[in-house]
Amino acid sequence: MKFSVMVNEGPYNHQASDSAYHFTKAVLQAGHEVFRVFFYHDGVNNGTRLTTPPQDDRNVVARWSELAVEHKVDLVVCVAAAQRRGIADADEAKRNGKNADNIAEGFRISGLGQLIEAGIVSDRLVEFGD
């Protein structure tokens, strides 16, 4: 079965990101395919490399990055939601006159078309958070 996941909440203010991560990992371990994880609304905060949790806390962003690299999972951050929250890759930063980027490894910025495509090509689109 082919799954896509939508994450609407940030990494430390809601259980949604943790639940989405564990669900995605379980899907992969069960032998299913994850087509895409789409981060929307405050969920885009999962994609900033500037998150620095205390050493005794889980590093949610690093977990997503490792999952993307290990399993070739497409992690897409919504461009409009990212711009509102100060998250940019090198291209977006340059296009908007910013002097830095902060996208985490394994993540990429794109538009809502990526979410629509995920819903079309996947057997299930599972949403976490409001």
The residues annotated as belonging to the active site are 78
Q: Give which of 61, 109, 62 is closest to 87, Cα–Cα.
A: 109
Instruction: Give the integer Cα–Cα distance in Å for 81 and 38.
Output: 11
Question: Which one-letter DSSP state was computed for residue 4?
Answer: E
Local structure of 54: helix, strand or coil: coil
